[in-house]
Amino acid sequence: MAWLSPGYPVGAYAYSHGLEWAVEAGDVRDEASLMAWLRDVCERGALRNDLILAAHAHAAALSSDGAALVAVNDLALALAPSRELHLETSQQGRSFLDAARLADYRNYFVYEIGMRDGAGNRTTMSARALRGSGGEAQAPFYVAIAASLASAYYPGDRPGDENPGLGLCLLDEAFSKLDVRNSQALVDLYRAWGLQLLIAAPEDKRTTLTEVMDTIVTVYKSPDLTSVRIEAEHPLEAARRALHAINPDQVGIEGFRQSDAAE
C-alpha cells in the first residue's frame, strides 16, 4: 500500500490526470460527481489502460520475463501520444524506480570511519566505540557531520571570502559527552569549514561554549512555568581570552602549580 500512498515520492502531486479541468468545467463538484469521474476513468479512460499494463508488467516480473517487461514498457510509452502524457508516464516511472531502489534495504551501504593516532596506528570507529569513553565514541560523529554539511553547503570547495554562505548547522544537546578541549576544538573545526553552529545546550556547558561562541542566548522559565525570559549576550574577544586564561581545563594542573610557585 506504500506504493499507492500520496506520500510515495514519485511526483504524482504534479499531475491531476485531468481532474483540475473537470473541477473547473463543473463536471466534478462534490463527492458523488468525483466518484463518478473516477469510475469513468477506471472503466473507460486512460487509467483502464494503465491497470491492464500494470497487470501484464506484474505477470512478466513474476515470471522473470525481461523481454515481456520491456515490451509492456514500450507499449505504455506508445499509448502516451501527447508530450504531457509521455512526460507524466516516464517521469513518474523513473521516480518510482529511484524511490524503490532507495527503499530496498539490500541497496544500503555500510560506512566505516577510519582513524589514525599520532603514531600512525589505525583503528575504526566501530572498534573504538566498544572500548573507548563516551566522548571518544562521540567525537568522530561530529567530525563526520561537519564534513557532510561542508560538502553539501560548499560542494567542490571550502568556503572563503569570495564564496560566503549561511552554512547553518543545528545541534541539540551538542558535545554532551565531550570534555572542554574537544568541545572547543570541534567548534573551531566547524567555523574553519564555514559552518555556523546553532546549539541547544544545558547551563553546565555555558563556560565551555562562552570561550568560542559569538552569541549566547539564555532562556529562563518562571517557577510556575507561566512565563519565559530570554537574554542574549555577545562575549567580546577580551572576555573570551580572560575566561580561557582562568579555565582549569585549559590551564591544567601543571599550569596552576607554576602559577602558585610564581606567587
Asked if pLDDT for residue 32 goes beyond 90, the answer is yes
Q: What is the pLDDT of residues 81-103, one digit of tens each?
A: 888 878 878 887 788 888 888 77
Q: Kindly report the CATH class assigned to 114-262.
A: alpha beta
Beta strands 228-233 and 216-221, pairing class: antiparallel
pLDDT tens per residue, range 164-173: 677 889 998 8
Q: Global pTM?
A: 0.48
Domain residue ranges of the chain, discontinuous segments joined by +:
2-107, 114-262
Please tell me the distance from the alpha carbon of residue 58 to that of residue 69, in angstroms, as a whole number: 8
Q: Report, as an integer, the average pLDDT of 224-242.
A: 85
What is each CA distance from 40 to 33, 37, 80, 175, 240, in whole angstroms?
Answer: 11, 5, 19, 60, 73
**In the prediction, which pLDDT does 35 show?**
92
Contact predicate 143/186, CB 8 Å: yes
Which residues, at least 6 apart from 86, have a Cβ–Cβ distance to it below 8 Å? 77, 80
* Predicted pLDDT at 6: 63
Instruction: Tell me what pLDDT residue 239 has.
Output: 79
User: DSSP 3-state assignment of 197?
Assistant: strand
Q: 191-202, pLDDT tens digit by residue?
A: 888 888 898 888
